[in-house]
Chains A and B, each alone.
Chain A
Amino acid sequence: MSGPTKPRLMQGNEACAEGALAAGVRFFAGYPITPSTEIAEILAERLPLLGGKFIQMEDEIASMAAVIGASLAGVKAITATSGPGFSLKQENIGFAAMAEVPCVVVNVQRTGPSTGVPTAAGQGDVLQARWGTHGDHPVIALCPSCVRETFELTVTAVNLSEKYRVPVILLMDEVIAHMREKVELPSPGEIKVIDRKKPRTPPEKFVPYQPDADGVPPMANFGEGYRYHVTGLIHDKMGFPTNKGPEIAGLVTRLTGKIEQNAADIIRWEGLYLEDAEVVVVAYGCVARSAREAVKKLRREGLNVGLFRPVTLWPFPAAEIAKRASRARGLVVAELNLGQLKLEVERASQGKTGVHFVGRIDGELLTPREIIAQVKGVL
């Protein structure tokens, strides 16, 4: 991509693919699954033209594995999937978290569980994005609510994965993925691209899992002279398996701690009319669009209602929610599930205010009217 881009009518999945390329992704491995497939199709066309690599693997598990392999070899890598595929990828996502391999997993959420409704939107993977793989582990999950933001957050996802050596989940939904909007993409010069830290020591002095002050160790790519061991086993600072209690606890604490420690850099959210809001609607992804409309209508009616839209679902902007909870008469969480993020909002609001809920699980979207009705109930 070069020169200023012209405004284009673009689908969310297309914006995701463009964002990945803009962030320097040159490897995609995936397996066809609705409603994410366009991302694979676009990258199958684009990557070979850019000297990048595209491969359709034999299954979802293999796709995740190939992405990790490519990243270890020094190439920024991404995969895209949906519910059933996201479930299959979980073990290897845990591997990436444990071995600190930067990678991005796009999950275009559909209605679940199981095969569910492949062509209908859902937001039922919110907790899976946080806790899908076993054991305590770090993760970042970002949630776009329009096509342009999908582009931006894909770049952000790649950047954060490189910066913190962590798998980043781009938690899209079917509406955002397939919706078309007029988008003017930033020119390449305007896009900030972050690359992983490289070792600053010669190979003989390299300690592969010795973190810097930010909790993140520099990363050597395979083939560049730093021969080291990578494993999904709990390992010591040299990368070798250990059964020693303090080393086990030390690693898991650092892995999760590096995200907590850098939360201020990672957490993103957006607010609308929050200053004097008596009721705050909390919504993300496609539902945030209905919520925005609802809040604007309520404001026109003279009601003090605001919108809080978490952009990072994980780590969750808990401190910001706590702030609103101490001032508001109530919070209304709107989402396409039975209350997954509501649990997190309740936890964050620490009982300071009532947390109410409006959701749908029938594959249809929440309308502004449904949100308005719930907010008025609280007022």
Chain B
Amino acid sequence: MLADIEEFYRLDRLPHIWCPGCGNGIVLACLVKAIKELKYDQDKTVVVSGIGCSSRASAYLDFNTLHTTHGRALAFATGIKLAKPELNIFVITGDGDSSAIGGNHLIHAARRNIDLNVVIFNNNIYGMTGGQYSPLTPKVQKATTAPYGTIERPFDLAKLVEAAGATYVARSTAYHTRLTTELIINGAKNKGFSVTEVISQCPVSYGRRNRFNTPAAMLEWQREMAVPVIKARSMAPEELEGKIITGELYRGHAPEYVSEYTKLTQRLKEEAEGV
């Protein structure tokens, strides 16, 4: 056990349900370390998740935790944040949860630039249901519903949320644990909609079908494919084909939704008192 963060876990809920070699436990520890670094009050911190393997994470954490319906974590989180702006909110979601069934909420939360910190556990597959392709499964890779390899193009989630209005966009991998923690911390410090996509591994439902013999091989692959964003800027598109660009990909400045709402109510109050 990572003794220095165990106070943030519900230890009586462990060991967790995830398969041997699953990246979820690794990424979750990065998130917990980030919250520890941020020194957030556990009572004032909420972890909201959707449905899927990664979304089971909320139950293991000793915060106010909410395991919602499939794809809707951001919509629930929006309600919480607007109702009680003083709460720090982290949203845990997977690739299918965030970009397929929850895609609409993702772009609109980004558009509002609402102060939510999203960590997307991207394992490129629907793991809970046994390995169906998601909108983030790379082209030609195999899944139970793409037995001949998927013919669909995946999203570039980072570009999607940047275009939609997120003001902090980052990417890391389960291999790069310290980078992942650092990026989540920076995202939380951004007052606005922050997305950190973490490439993770599903050895059972994705790896075995796609020539990864061991979980470790998937982590090694993440290490090899990762290109820091600074280096990537000097590389040609063809060199970057299939690579994972990591680091802080985008930072923007835009009004945050709840602050704007607060300003509105303040203005109305002053008008009512002044006139």
Contact = CB atoms under 8 A, between A and B. Distances in A.
Interface of A: 27, 29, 48-49, 51, 53, 55, 57-59, 61-63, 65-75, 77, 91-92, 95, 222-225, 227-233, 240-241
A55 B78 contact: yes
A62 B65 contact: no
Contacts of B44: 223
A232 B105 contact: no
A58 B72 CA distance: 12
A374 to B, nearest CB: 43
Nearest to B271: A49
B108 A62 contact: yes
A95 B69 contact: yes
Counting from the closest, the 3 A-B pairs by CB-CB distance are: A69-B79, A66-B79, A65-B75
A51 B82 contact: no
B261 A53 contact: yes
B68 interface: yes
Given A27-B79, A48-B265, A73-B80, A240 B59 contact: yes
Interface stretch (B83-91, B92-100, B127-135, B191-199): B83-91
A73 B46 CA distance: 10
Contact of B86 (A72, A223, A240): A223
Contact of A232 (B68, B80, B104): B68
B266 to A, nearest CB: 10
Contact of B264 (A48, A62, A63): A48
A222 B83 CA distance: 11
B39 interface: no
Contacts of B58: 229
B64 interface: yes
Interface residues of B, number: 38
Contact of B72 (A53, A62, A73, A223): A62
Contacts of A231: 59, 66-67
A59 to B, nearest CB: 6
A72 B84 CA distance: 10
B42 interface: yes
A184 to B, nearest CB: 26
A49 B13 CA distance: 44
A231 to B, nearest CB: 4
A49 B268 CA distance: 6
Nearest to B49: A231
Given A58-B104, A62-B72, A232-B69, A27 B59 contact: no
Contacts of B78: 55, 57, 62, 65-66, 69
From A51, A57, A69, A224, residue with most partner B Cβ within 10 Å? A69
Interface string B151-164: 00000000000000
B65 A223 contact: no
A264 B144 CA distance: 52
Nearest to B112: A55
A29 B83 CA distance: 11
A227 B13 CA distance: 14
